[in-house]
Structure 1
Amino acid sequence: MTRNKATLIGLVAIGLWSTVIGLIRVVSEHLGPTGGGAMIYTVASVFLMLSVGIPKIKEFPRPYLYLGSGLFAAYELCLVLAIGDARNGRQAIEVSMLNYLWPTLTMLLSIVVNKQRSNLLIVPGVALSLLGVCWVLGGDNGLELAQMATNIRGNPAPYVLAFVGAVIWSTYCTVTSRISGGKNGVTLFFLLTAVVLWCKFAMEGGGSMTFTTGVCAQLALTACALGIGHACWNIGILKGNVTLLAGASYFTPILSAAMASALLGSKLSNPFWVGAAMVCAGSLLSWTAIREGRPG
């Protein structure tokens, strides 16, 4: 597979992921944060086994098997629980903006870990992304630190999980291409995530899950978007242009928020869209800083 083709496949993942936030929240409202997450990753694992195949674990480099799987599962847990534990659809969308700091963080890590060259645009890029998140978390009044603090104090867990998830995912994207040996462990990683979520579900005492035709359809759509999206993304970051893929992700926050708003029936204020645009612009500036910082 050529590098350009792998990069294109990675771009498909970005489109699929734009639907995931809203879909995960819809499923979680019916099946619970942990139970819903466990079902999503179980069904997604089945899709991946049928489409990508069952991985041959013995062929995986040990660093990729242990570190890669650990980072992947940790991120997925943070994501699904952050969205599921949000008070309502609006907060779930706000929390997702924290998660979308990962493209900017990936740029920073590529400079530190992969010795990627950059120019001074990286500074306003990072600052703009962080300012955009603060703008979103300030609520309908935009950048209002007191309101932002109140929102976070009222239900801190989703915000913490989303931010930690962004750090973990940017780390995964940065180190995977260095330690994978060209192998794709996404099926194994999804299975691991499902097992961990089922263990958490059992430790919490289980709980009732009501399945209807509509819920099953939503579950299948969510698992398909998540599973196929990750399969495409793994191909992209293993064999494609990681910097280009991270940069192309700059528009995902706006697209994802629009999709989630429609799915959840949550009206978003103008300050929210301003903040989301800042996150996108900050990611794009960071990407530009790295591209223009290359020699030659």
Structure 2
Amino acid sequence: MSHNPKATMIGSIAILLWSTLALFTTQANVVPPLLLLTLTFGVASLLFFLVYLIKGELKTSWKQTPKSAIIMGGLGFYFYHFCYFYAFQHAPPVEAGLIAYLWPLFIVLMAGMTKGNSLSWAHLAGAIIAFIGTGIMLQSKGNIEDAGNTTYHWTGYGAAFACALIWSSYSVANRRYQSVPSSAVLWYCLITTLLAGASHLTLEEQDWSLPLSTWMAILGLGFGPVGIAFFCWDFGVKKGNLSLLGVLSYTAPALSTAWLGLFTDAILTTGQVIACLLITAGALFASLMPNKKMPSTSEAKGI
């Protein structure tokens, strides 16, 4: 099968956009997580709605998308991003981002335990490498952080780890809906917006007086890693080189950490850099085991 180099390049834009999720989130960390979830997915929902309305695919998308898929997708998007935003408000951004990016590794491990697949030595070795990296990262941070804030940070670490578990579980379960059109993402985003909005009104204090810079970050999240990235990825995986895109996706943790180091006041320690390399290498090593049936990276991101 021939691959369109242009489509592969467009697909790689999605990976680049996803790597900015942590950066934009840190710029909007003054926003309560449920409100941030409501606003960013509201922007994404509006974007998807207008695009598919213009393309005339709204009715067909609704008819072709099982309600069980809409519920699962909406809940998956909601809980993953809530935990992600919460983690970045309750833990240092570099550590939170690296822990959350354990999801590619978890997908490989979970897929190896499903029917018709098996775990290999490469999967286990990759897991060990990545978890060693996580341990180095946490130990490195522990040496310099204030002991009085340890509980506060570990709450964020737990939320980041939940991100990895939620997204990997959702992605593997989503294999049952391979025939669902990619336009179903609209309904996932809409469900997420409604759930987040109701949760915000119930659980959080209503205060929309946000500075302009925060609103810009919210728009950046909604249009970029939560919005346009899905369009780029859909085009790339359908017409481009999926194998190459799958390998490139494991650069996201390193890119995410690099953006935080370059554009925020986060100071990267030697331990964090080593951890980033080990987590990325562990996930990549486990995913490249030959002759094993693994989920595609498009499924990894729920497309």
- Assess same fold via TM > 0.5: yes
Asked whether the 8 Å contact 2:34–2:204 carries over to 1, the reply is no
The change in CA–CA distance for 1:216 and 1:21 in structure 2 (over 3 A counts) is: same
Q: Mapping of 1:132-281 within 5 angstroms? A: 132-140=133-141, 153-184=151-182, 185-225=184-224, 226-233=226-233, 245-281=245-281
Percent identity between the two aligned chains:
23
The change in CA–CA distance for 1:74 and 1:257 in structure 2 (over 3 A counts) is: same
Q: How far apart, in 2, do the equivalents of 1:212 and 1:259 lie? A: 22
- 2:27 aligned with 1:26: yes
Which SS does the other structure have where 1:28 is aligned? coil
Give unmatched runs, 5+ long, in structure 2: 294-303
- 2:128 aligned with 1:123: no
Q: How far apart, in 2, do the equivalents of 1:270 and 1:293 lie? A: 35
TM-score, normalized by length of structure 1? 0.82
Q: How far apart, in 1, do the equivalents of 2:74 and 2:4 lie? A: 26
The change in CA–CA distance for 1:287 and 1:152 in structure 2 (over 3 A counts) is: farther
Asked whether the 8 Å contact 1:177–1:238 carries over to 2, the reply is no
Asked whether the 8 Å contact 2:75–2:192 carries over to 1, the reply is no
Distance apart, 1:103 and its partner CA: 0.6
Distance apart, 1:100 and its partner CA: 0.5
Asked whether the 8 Å contact 1:61–1:180 carries over to 2, the reply is no
Which SS does the other structure have where 2:127 is aligned? helix
What is the RMSD computed on CA atoms of the aligned residues? 3.3
Which SS does the other structure have where 1:206 is aligned? coil
Distance apart, 1:259 and its partner CA: 0.8
Distance apart, 1:3 and its partner CA: 7.9
Further displaced range: 245-254 or 5-14 = 5-14
Distance apart, 1:279 and its partner CA: 0.3
Q: How far apart, in 1, do the equivalents of 2:94 and 2:291 lie? A: 33
Give unmatched runs, 5+ long, in structure 1: none
Q: Which amino acid aligns with 2:254?
A: I
The change in CA–CA distance for 1:267 and 1:206 in structure 2 (over 3 A counts) is: same
Q: How far apart, in 1, do the equivalents of 2:150 and 2:239 lie? A: 39
The change in CA–CA distance for 1:240 and 1:108 in structure 2 (over 3 A counts) is: farther
